[in-house]
Amino acid sequence: MTTTLLLWSIFLAQILLVVAMACATFRVLRGPRAQDRVLGLDTLYVNATMLLLTFGIRTGSTLYFEAALIIALLGFVATAALAKFLMRGEVIE
Amino acid sequence: MTHLADLPVWAAIPVALLLLLGASLALIGSIGFVRLRSFYERVHAPTLGTTMGIGSVLLASMLCFTVLQSRPALHEILIAVFMIVTTPITLMLLARAALYRDRSEGSDDVPSAPPAQTTAPSAPDAAPPV
């Protein structure tokens, strides 16, 4: 009974996170300007981190945690670099 | 799915509730990110997921692995501290870049740049020179 509850709540949380990632992807594809796309990419990274953590709870292995940590690190570096690029050069758009 | 059966009821229900809370907050933030109109409004929406959303999911993960392994699983704090430190940095960098771009295009939606302060700033309510 407890296992069923946990499995269904993990499944529902994963569906909610995938819909959130779809919203962020929509903004990456349709964002009117470059800063919207960069912000959408940042949101996508955070949602992917949470999705990997739910996978880790579901399977009970800590491998997913390390993947989530790496995604969080790369998301910060990518967003900071892209924001710096938007600040300096007028190349995009 | 044998490890989830080892989880007692008093731990399984908070894990489920925290997971659903975190995922719902992330979804609400992303919906707001799609629906809000200007970029400066949209900057606010994803922070719902980056603060309490990921905090709840990390708490659920910590609780699950602490009970399962019978020892404190604290490595999730790494992600939490990292998120707390980096989210304001990235969003402020992005908002400043957007403001710079809007100003350099002469957009009417943003206030113009403040004048460069070459002299000492005077009191704002000082009488104007005649």
pLDDT interval class at B4 (50, 70, 90) = confident
**Two tokens at A16?**
């909610």
Tell me the residue ranges of DSSP E strands in A1-93: none
Is residue A31 included in any domain, yes or no? yes
| Total structural domains within chain B | 1
A93 domain-assigned: no
Distance from CA of A89 to the nearest CA of B (A): 10
Residue B73 has which token pair?
Answer: 């699983």
The verdict on A49 touching B (C-beta cutoff 8 Å) is: yes
Per-residue pLDDT tens for B81-104? Answer: 999 999 999 999 999 999 888 888
**Interchain contact, B49 vs A9, CB within 8 Å:** no
Q: Would residue A78 count as lying in a domain?
A: yes
- B54-69 and B76-104 helices, crossing angle to 10°: 170
- On whether residue B114 sits in a domain, the answer given is no
Domain boundaries, position A67: 2-87
**Is residue A72 situated within a structural domain?**
yes
What number of CA atoms fall less than 13 Å from residue B13's CA on the CB side? 3
CA distance A40 to A33: 11
DSSP chain B: -HHHHTS-HHHHHHHHHHHHHHHHHHHHHHHHHHH-SSHHHHTTTTHHIIIIIHHHHHHHHHHHHHHHHTS---THHHHHHHHHHHHHHHHHHHHHHHHHHHHHTT-SSSPPPPPP--SPPPPTTSPPP-
CATH classification at residue A63: 1.10.287
pLDDT at residue A93, as a whole number: 45
Contact B93 A68 (CB under 8 A): no
- Is B110 within the bounds of a domain? no
The total number of structural domains that make up chain A? 1
Among A52, A64, A79, smallest CA distance to B22 is for A52
The nearest alpha carbon in chain A to B31 belongs to A23
Per-window interface: A 20-39 vs B, CB < 8 A: 20-21, 23-24, 26-27, 33-36, 38-39
The 10s digit of each residue's pLDDT in A37-82 is: 999 999 999 999 999 999 999 988 888 999 999 999 999 989 988 8
Please report, in angstroms and rounded to a whole number, the separation of the first and last CA atoms in chain A: 55
pLDDT for residue A44: 94
Mean pLDDT value across residues B62-69: 90
B124 domain residue, yes or no = no
Q: How far does the CA of residue B116 sit from the closest CA of chain A (Å)? A: 19
Residue B110 or residue A27, greater confidence: A27
Quote the ipTM score.
0.87
Asked whether the beta carbons of residue B64 and residue A57 sit closer than 8 angstroms, the reply is yes
- This prediction has a pTM of 0.84
Identify whether B68 is part of a domain. Answer: yes
A91 falls in which pLDDT band (50, 70, 90)?
Answer: very low
Query: Which domain covers residue B87, as residue numbers?
Result: 2-104
Record the tokens describing residue A29, joined without a space.
């594809």
pLDDT at B92: 92
B79 in a domain, yes or no?
yes
In a domain, A92, yes or no: no
